[in-house]
Amino acid sequence: MKNIGEIVGNFNKIEELFFEQTTENIIQLANMVCSEIYGEKVFLRGLIEFSNQCNANCLYCGIRKENKNIPRYTMTNEEIFEVVKKGYESGLKTFVLQSGENNTTLSHRNLCNLTTEIKKHFSDIAITLSCGYFNKTQLKNLKDAGVDRYLIRFEVADEKIYTYLKNGEKLSKRIEMLYNLKELGFETGSGFMVGLPGETDLVLLQNLKLCYDLNLDMVGIGPFIPHPDTPLKNATLQPLEKTLKMVALLRILLPYSNIPATTAAGSIDILGREKMLSSGANVLMPNITPIKYKQNYVLYPNKICINENGFGCIKCLEKRVTAIKKEISFEIGTSKNFNRRIPK
C-alpha cells in the first residue's frame, strides 16, 4: 500500500480498503498509524456499571426492561464514591460510569451531585458518563458539574435497523445528542456493534462514515453477542475478524481517536482484546464494579471478569498487554482528536 498520507483520514480511501484489501493488510496499516500517534501505550479506564435499571427495551440487550430474569440494582452515591477512591488508589485516572436508561432512578441531578463530590476529592481525574439519552439542558448541567466525557453509541447508522432494534426510537435523536455533546465541549464518544441482524457491507460503511462525520474523540465498537433472554436470541454470532477489520479501518479513518479493546471482544475469544489492541485499539477498560453487582450487568452472555475483583483485572491486563509488546499507561489519556479540536 503506497501513499499512506493519502489514505489516513480519507473516507473514500477507506471504502477502497474495505473492498480491495485483505484484513491482514488493513490491520498492518492500522498498527502503523496507531504506533505513530499513541506509541505502544494502552490507556486504562475504570468501568463502574452502577445501575442495571432500564426503561428501554432494545432488542439486543440483556438488561432491557422486559427481561425479568435479572435482579435490578442501583449503587448508592456512597458506594460509587468508594469504588472511585479505590480505583484512584490503584492509579486509575479515568472512570466510566455506565448504566441503563432510567429517568426516575438515574436523575441527571443526582449524577451532577455525584460528579461534584468526586471531583472535589479527586481533581486530577476524568469522569466519563455512559447513561443513555439526556437533553441539551441536562447535558449542560452535567458539564458544569464536572463531567468531562460522554459515551453514547449510535449502535448502527441505518435508520430502519436502528428503529427496529430500539422499538421505534429515532436514530436522529441520538445523533442530535452527539452534536450537543460536541457543542458543549465534552470529549465525545460513540460507536456501533458489528454483526447485527440485517447488517450488510453497506451498513458497515455507513457506520464508519457516521463516525467520520461526527469526528468522534472516542469510538467503541464490539461484536454483537446474542443474549438468550432477548428477542434476538437466535441471531448468529459473527466471527471476531469482522470486528477486527472494522477497528483497523476506524484507526486509519480517525487516527487521533481513542479506541477501546472492548470486553465483548474478550468474551467471544480469550485473546479478543489483545487482537483488538493489535488492530488499532489503544484503550482497555478494567471492570471495577463490585462483584455482587457486575454479575447482574449482563448485556450479553459469557461476559468475562464478572466473578473477579476488578482491581485484580488491572494486574491481569498488565500481563496481557506486555505479552503483545505494549505497555499500560496510567495517564489521564485525553483523546488527541479532542486536543486538536479544542486546543487548550
What residue type is assigned to position 153 of the chain?
R
- Where b means 16+ CB within 10 Å and e means fewer, 164-179 reads bbbeebebeebbebbe
**How far is it, in rounded angstroms, from Cα 197 to Cα 125?**
38
CB of 163 to ligand SAH, least distance (A): 15
- Measure Cα distances from 295 to 84, 316, 326 in Å: 19, 19, 30
* Binding residue for ligand SAH, selected from 100, 266, 272, 290, defined by CB under 6 A: 100
Interhelix angle 201-214/171-183, rounded to 10 degrees, is 30
Q: Does residue number 21 form part of the binding site for ligand SAH (CB under 6 A)? A: no
The nearer residue to ligand SAH, 94 or 329, going by C-beta atoms, is: 94
The nearer residue to ligand SAH, 220 or 255, going by C-beta atoms, is: 220
Number of residues assigned to the chain? 344
Q: Does residue number 115 form part of the binding site for ligand SAH (CB under 6 A)? A: no
CB of 129 to ligand SAH, least distance (A): 9
Question: How many C-beta neighbours within 10 Å does residue 185 have?
Answer: 13
Interacting residues with ligand SAH between 259 and 298 (CB under 6 A): 264
Strand arrangement of the beta sheet that strand 187-194 belongs to: 46-51, 94-99, 126-130, 149-151, 187-194, 218-223
* Residue with the three cell numbers 455525584: 114
CB of 1 to ligand SAH, least distance (A): 31
Q: Does residue number 178 form part of the binding site for ligand SAH (CB under 6 A)? A: no
Q: How many residues bind ligand SAH (CB under 6 A)?
A: 19
Choices 25-33, 74-82, 124-132, 304-312; region in contact with ligand SAH by CB under 6 A: 124-132
CB of 298 to ligand SAH, least distance (A): 9
* Binding residue for ligand SAH, selected from 193, 205, 313, 321, defined by CB under 6 A: 193
Query: Is the four-CA dihedral 108, 189, 335, 31 of positive or negative sign?
Result: positive
* Binding residue for ligand SAH, selected from 34, 80, 126, 225, defined by CB under 6 A: 225
The nearer residue to ligand SAH, 40 or 229, going by C-beta atoms, is: 229
* Binding residue for ligand SAH, selected from 13, 41, 140, 153, defined by CB under 6 A: 153
The nearer residue to ligand SAH, 65 or 209, going by C-beta atoms, is: 65
Q: Does residue number 156 form part of the binding site for ligand SAH (CB under 6 A)? A: no
- Where b means 16+ CB within 10 Å and e means fewer, 45-80 reads bbbbbbbbbbebbbbbbbbbbebeeeebbbbebeeb
Torsion angle, alpha carbons of 19, 22, 23, 24, to 10: -160
The nearer residue to ligand SAH, 237 or 316, going by C-beta atoms, is: 237
The nearer residue to ligand SAH, 29 or 158, going by C-beta atoms, is: 158
- Measure Cα distances from 11 to 52, 139, 207 in Å: 37, 30, 12
* Residue 192: closest CA among 155, 219, 161: 155
Q: Does residue number 72 form part of the binding site for ligand SAH (CB under 6 A)? A: no
CB of 230 to ligand SAH, least distance (A): 7
Q: Does residue number 55 form part of the binding site for ligand SAH (CB under 6 A)? A: no
* Binding residue for ligand SAH, selected from 128, 300, 313, 314, defined by CB under 6 A: 300
Return the C-alpha cell found at 188: 465525545
CB of 3 to ligand SAH, least distance (A): 34
Burial (0-12, 13-18, 19+ Cβ within 10 Å), 322:
exposed
Choices 19-27, 67-75, 81-89, 126-134; region in contact with ligand SAH by CB under 6 A: 126-134
Q: Which residues make up the interface to ligand SAH (CB under 6 A)?
A: 60-61, 98, 100-101, 130-132, 152-153, 155, 193, 222, 224-225, 227, 264, 299-300
